[in-house]
């Protein structure tokens, strides 16, 4: 069953539960319980989220790949591929939006993150921030009140989780400080592997510090479900350690629909020049 916003604990709840602890370092922003109520960090299969939009870690072709891209295309069905074919690809550091088709999410935002070591640290950070910013703008432009990000570029594209999380969280924090961000009710950082979740738990207090540290252990009246309980109830949370997960699909080939199978979503393993520039040559 797909998880709705009600199933996904907010950062405020994670602080209260002590799942996330305040940082020893000085936060870069002032505490805001209103903002902490609009942020979530979960470890979950993003294809199982019934939110307004999910953000795919796509490649420049937008025609599918491995990792989260493959999982999203499989769950959305062939119509997603057909719509992606009409988009004419996407620049690195930007994003494009499609419908969600058979996914529980209404929209899919396809963001093309940087390949870390090809870009170098500074360029990569700018491009990654561009992905997050453009995705947030697209969500607002398309009346999506909730958006769940996969951990862009931290898979095959090799972006270190700690660095990537800092860029992601800061970009979201800046966006939520803008006026039009009122149109967003919830921004969810949806990790799949423990290394990414750990990075988010460590770094999120720098940008979204706890608003009521003194109240952290006091149960609010009417709180019937503890956050940790909510986290454990999320469907299909990964149970394997990252190192053991062969199935996270970091492919050396790309899945492509054949020309003569327009009506059926038949995929074949096929070397692709666009992909060779990105994922396949780096595994």
Enumerate binding residues for ligand ADP (CB under 6 A): 45-47, 57, 67-69, 71, 113, 150-157, 190, 192-193, 196, 248, 250
Nearer to ligand ADP, 153 or 203 (CB): 153
Neighbours of 125 (CB within 10 A): 20
Nearer to ligand ADP, 12 or 278 (CB): 278
Nearer to ligand ADP, 36 or 47 (CB): 47
Could you give the C-alpha distances from 28 to 14, 65, 82, 208, in angstroms and in order? Answer: 20, 36, 43, 9
Nearest to 128 by CA among 156, 176, 166: 166
Distance (Å, whole) CA 133 – CA 115: 18
CB of 241 to ligand ADP, least distance (A): 12
CB of 74 to ligand ADP, least distance (A): 9
Nearer to ligand ADP, 41 or 46 (CB): 46
Nearer to ligand ADP, 69 or 170 (CB): 69
Distance (Å, whole) CA 131 – CA 113: 6
CB of 45 to ligand ADP, least distance (A): 4
Burial of 137 (0-12, 13-18, 19+ CB in 10 A): middle
CB of 217 to ligand ADP, least distance (A): 31
Distance (Å, whole) CA 20 – CA 23: 9
CB of 224 to ligand ADP, least distance (A): 28
Nearer to ligand ADP, 155 or 210 (CB): 155
CB of 151 to ligand ADP, least distance (A): 4
């Amino acid at each position: 069953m797909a998880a709705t916003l009600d199933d996904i604990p907010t950062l405020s709840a994670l602080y209260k539960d002590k799942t996330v602890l305040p940082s020893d370092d000085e936060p870069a922003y002032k505490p805001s319980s209103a903002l902490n109520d609009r942020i979530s960090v979960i470890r979950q299969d993003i294809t199982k989220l019934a939110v307004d939009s999910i953000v795919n870690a796509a490649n420049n072709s937008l025609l599918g790949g491995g990792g989260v891209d493959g999982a999203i295309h499989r769950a959305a069905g062939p119509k997603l591929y057909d719509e992606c074919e009409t988009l004419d690809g996407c620049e690195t550091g930007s994003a494009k939006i499609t419908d969600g088709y058979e996914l529980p999410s209404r929209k899919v935002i396809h963001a093309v993150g940087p390949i870390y070591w090809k870009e170098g640290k500074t360029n990569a950070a700018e491009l990654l921030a561009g992905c997050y910013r453009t995705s947030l703008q697209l969500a607002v432009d398309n009346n999506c009140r909730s958006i769940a990000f996969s951990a862009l570029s931290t898979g095959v594209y090799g972006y270190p989780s700690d660095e990537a999380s800092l860029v992601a969280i800061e970009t979201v924090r800046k966006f939520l400080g803008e006026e039009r961000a009122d149109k967003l009710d919830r921004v969810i950082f949806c990790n799949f592997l423990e290394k990414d979740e750990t990075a988010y738990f460590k770094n999120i207090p720098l940008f979204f510090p706890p608003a009521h540290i003194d109240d952290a252990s006091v149960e609010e009246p009417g709180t019937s479900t503890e956050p940790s309980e909510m986290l454990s109830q999320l469907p299909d949370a990964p149970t394997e350690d990252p190192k053991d997960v062969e199935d996270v699909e970091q492919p050396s080939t790309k899945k492509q629909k054949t020309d003569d199978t327009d009506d059926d979503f038949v995929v074949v393993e096929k070397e692709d020049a666009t992909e060779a520039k990105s994922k396949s040559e780096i595994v």
